[in-house]
A and B are shown apart, each in its own frame.
Chain A
Amino acid sequence: MTTTLMAIGTKKGLWLATSTDRQAWTLSEPHFLMQEVASVGIDTRGGRTRIMAGVLSYHWGPTVVYSDDLGETWSEPEQGAIKFSESDNAAVERIWQLQPDSAGRPGVVWAGCQPISIWKSTDYGEHFELNRGLWDHPHRSQWGAGFGGAAAHSVVPSPADDTVHVAMSTGGVYRSDDGGASWAPRNKGISAYFMPDPNPEFGQCVHKIARDAVEPNRLYAQNHHGVYRSDNGAETWESIADGLPADFGFVMLSHPHHSGTAWVIPLKADGERIPPDGKLAVHRTDDSGSSWIRQDQGLPKGEYNAVLRDAAGVDTLDPVGVYFGTRGGSVYASADEGESFTEVASHLPDVLCVRAAAVVGS
């Protein structure tokens, strides 16, 4: 019997939910109550299930913890998993992303942080090293801060080669072709309507990017207004917003197995960050954004909370599970690729991140 684990990071703690059918879920008591959990990763490589969490105490600072027993116990590396050296004259403010790399790179985990920085671990997330190429990038002084802070919030390594894409708010998409040694902006075609030059080389407010599972040069991006696809590794982007009720939102998910399938959760606009008309829905494309299907079965008819950039995830089962949570503390799960949803939890604190995976090794 397969057990699926869902990790729900909120503004006031982490909840874990498990299910054997992805319909009925058992919700844990809160972990790290009163601490913000903005990032969580579930790593099922190596024959075990490791949960990693980026925890922030507003008093005592940020840290990375991990559990190899589904949350029964947690470990915090004594010297800290992610920290600047003294000479960097900087301090980690928030851990926005904990992203295990592909199966072909066992042990490698990427982190995206505030201030804008990415980090790489080769020991399954116990210790990370600052990526100097991005930290020392000449554009740094021109990157800005979104409302949530200046952060590298998406790190998307390619399983096919040494390509890595990073997305930051605000700064846009950057690509490395050499495993992270050097970085160049890759935003051609993405509008930054809020800047004096609406088509700058960088400075876009990209909210989330995702890589196609089959075509590694195909990426999808949800921007601060604008939904885009690239078929050439982000050399150029084209709009795929036609057919969506709005081009604003934070979420972008790609299917873990099928090419061309992705999900977004539109919000009405920058100035009206609610589901369009208060009607919460996921929208799925199966043709790389040429058309979109509205998916709202099981979702509430009136919903005025936003879904944040990492508050959504997919598992890798067949059919794929789709999961997301709202700032109102509701969490929904679909066991059929978004065709229908069930409510897993409600009245939690603001949901900041959601990840799910089939449990292995226990």
Chain B
Amino acid sequence: MGASDVTVLIPTLLRPLIGDRSRVPLAAPSAIPLGQLLDNLHHGYPVFARRIRDETGALRRYVNVYVNGEDVRRLDGLATPVQPGAEVMIIQSVAGG
């Protein structure tokens, strides 16, 4: 990957839905909002996309996304800017019974 790429880390359970990849590099020559980055990530993978966001575009309640280790819900949500070279982690939250 190049220095201007963003790396997205995929949770194990969802890897079969995105070509069995654990890390997906995405081109990001300049900062882009997280929502747009996810649009780019989801392109061509509609089932994967539905696991992350609902029909309104919102992140599912128990899906967490971290940009360089920061929970985007404590930043600016889907509007959080993702800088070139950043690492984006998608992970399920601890929830259930």
Contacts and interface: CB of A to CB of B under 8 A. Distances in A.
Contact of A92 (B55, B92, B93, B95): B55
B55 A58 contact: no
Contact of B60 (A34, A61, A63, A80): A61
Given A58-B62, A58-B96, A86 B55 contact: yes
Contacts of B50: 60-61, 63, 80, 83
Given A59-B63, A59-B95, A91 B47 contact: no
A88 B50 CA distance: 16
A84 B47 contact: no
A78 interface: yes
A83 B95 contact: no
B39 interface: no
Contacts of B52: 60
B54 interface: yes
Nearest to B48: A60
Contact of A60 (B46, B58, B60): B60
Interface residues of A, number: 20
Contacts of A78: 46-47
Contact of A89 (B13, B56, B95): B56
Contacts of B58: 91
A91 B55 CA distance: 5
Contacts of B18: none
Interface string B28-56: 00000000000000000011001110111
Nearest to A83: B55
A80 B14 contact: no
B78 to A, nearest CB: 15
A362 interface: no
B54 to A, nearest CB: 4
B13 to A, nearest CB: 8
B47 A76 contact: yes
B95 A61 contact: no
A131 B54 CA distance: 19
A141 interface: no
A89 B55 CA distance: 8
Contacts of A85: 55
B6 to A, nearest CB: 22
B55 A84 contact: yes
B62 A59 contact: yes
Interface in B65-97: 92-93, 95-96
A84 B52 CA distance: 16
B55 A88 contact: yes
A79 B46 contact: yes
Interface of A: 34, 57-61, 63, 76, 78-80, 83-86, 88-92
18 contacts: A58-B95, A59-B60, A59-B62, A59-B95, A60-B51, A61-B51, A61-B54, A78-B47, A80-B46, A85-B55, A86-B55, A86-B56, A86-B57, A88-B55, A90-B56, A91-B54, A91-B55, A92-B55
Given A59-B51, A89-B56, 18 more contacts: A58-B62, A58-B96, A59-B60, A59-B93, A60-B13, A60-B52, A60-B60, A60-B92, A61-B50, A61-B60, A78-B46, A79-B46, A80-B47, A83-B50, A86-B56, A88-B55, A90-B55, A91-B56
Interface of B: 13-14, 46-47, 50-52, 54-58, 60, 62-63, 92-93, 95-96
